[in-house]
Chains A and B, each alone.
Chain A
Amino acid sequence: MIDFMLLFFLVIFAIAAISMKDLLSAVMIFSAYSLIMALVWMRMNAVDVAFTEAAVGAGITTVLLIAALSRTKRREENSPQSEITNSKSIQRRLLLSLITVIVTGAMLVYSTIDMPDFGDPDAPANLHVAARYIEKSYEETGVVNFVTAVLASYRGYDTLGEVVVIFTAGVGVVLLLRRRKEQ
């Protein structure tokens, strides 16, 4: 029941965020969306992911987006496209794409019926390396939290890559936005 409510709110927030013309409100709704998402992760017992979602998604991303908004305008401008959409051919094309999206979505929902239950120990995803991480990670890495063991040890290269990605993002921002003194 709680899960259903959370997912319901996620959909509401997602629709509200894209339909909002006031960008500051949209950023706030995104923050609420991330907070709900963190609760969903908690419900799935993924505490590390929930922690990251709450700190990064709901917290720092909101601040950085507001900082970015202070550099631009607060309101989304009406694009000239809204006048074109009244013409017949465009409306037909929009209807066609709506049908495509609904059919694809229905097919995706239909395919979930065949998927294993959440947390099923016999699911293909749980049969591969998960058992070894759970049973052996303390012996092999000496770390109790096996999420950390996977991130830092078994998948150490990926984590190094992530850190370099963050560093590169910082370098990019500095190169694009920083003013040199002599200019």
Chain B
Amino acid sequence: MIVRVIARILIPFIQLYALYVIAHGEIGPGGGFQGGVIFSASIILYVIAFGMEEARSRISQKMSDLLSSTGALVFAIIGLLCILAGGSYLEYDQLPLGTPKLASQLGIYGIEIGIGITVAAVLITIFFETAGRKDD
């Protein structure tokens, strides 16, 4: 009971902090990897407090699978957009988004979000698959 109440209070703050770490990677320490790990930690806390079934009803298997590949695709597609915009692969400042510096900032921001999605979803998937098997 105590664990559930505390978890219910903590999880939103952990997730907010994870998003802050992803968004703040350009200015301070942090980035997609760390933020994604922290986000997956909040889901693992949810599993420990409320059980696997409850967590699976919030994040379905299909959704975590889909998100794992979505993040990597976001990264790769931003790279391809740079080619379409006339630069070479991952040359963010060629993107048509205002000044080259702004384009570069937004491109880096985009790939950090992609990294965060993939890391969080993959870690959640690995945790669900290793800890969540009831049979055998």
- CB-CB under 8 A from A71, the residues of chain B are 130, 133
- CB-CB under 8 A from A178, the residues of chain B are 129
Contact assessment for B118 and A177 in the assembled complex, using a CB-CB cutoff below 8 Å: no
Among the listed A59, A151, A166, A171, which residue makes an inter-chain contact with B119, where contact means beta carbons less than 8 Å apart?
A166
Q: Is B19 an interface residue (CB 8 A)?
A: no
Interface residues of B in 103-127 (CB under 8 A from A): 104-105, 108, 111-112, 114-115, 118-119, 121-123, 125-127
Contact assessment for A152 and B118 in the assembled complex, using a CB-CB cutoff below 8 Å: no
Contact assessment for B69 and A55 in the assembled complex, using a CB-CB cutoff below 8 Å: no
Q: A142-B101, A169-B122, A179-B135 are in contact. Are A52 and B108 (CB under 8 A)?
A: no
In the docked arrangement, what's the CA distance between A152 and B13, Å?
27
- CB-CB under 8 A from B93, the residues of chain A are 140-142
Among the listed B38, B89, B90, B92, which residue makes an inter-chain contact with A55, where contact means beta carbons less than 8 Å apart?
B38
Q: Is A164 an interface residue (CB 8 A)?
A: yes
In the docked arrangement, what's the CA distance between A95 and B71, Å?
51
Q: A56-B33, A160-B75 are in contact. Are A170 and B68 (CB under 8 A)?
A: yes
Query: Which A residue's beta carbon lies closest to that of B45?
Result: A63
Contact assessment for A67 and B131 in the assembled complex, using a CB-CB cutoff below 8 Å: yes
In the docked arrangement, what's the CA distance between A128 and B119, Å?
32
Among the listed A47, A148, A166, A167, which residue makes an inter-chain contact with B26, where contact means beta carbons less than 8 Å apart?
A148
Interface residues of A in 117-170 (CB under 8 A from B): 139-145, 147-149, 151-153, 156-157, 159-160, 162-164, 166-167, 169-170
Contact assessment for B68 and A163 in the assembled complex, using a CB-CB cutoff below 8 Å: no
Q: List 21 A-B contacts (CB under 8 A).
A: A55-B38, A56-B33, A56-B34, A67-B127, A141-B92, A143-B105, A144-B26, A145-B26, A145-B29, A148-B25, A148-B112, A149-B108, A153-B90, A156-B79, A160-B90, A163-B71, A167-B69, A169-B126, A170-B68, A170-B125, A177-B133
Q: Which 6 A-B pairs have the closest CB atoms?
A: A170-B122, A142-B101, A67-B131, A156-B90, A47-B29, A142-B105
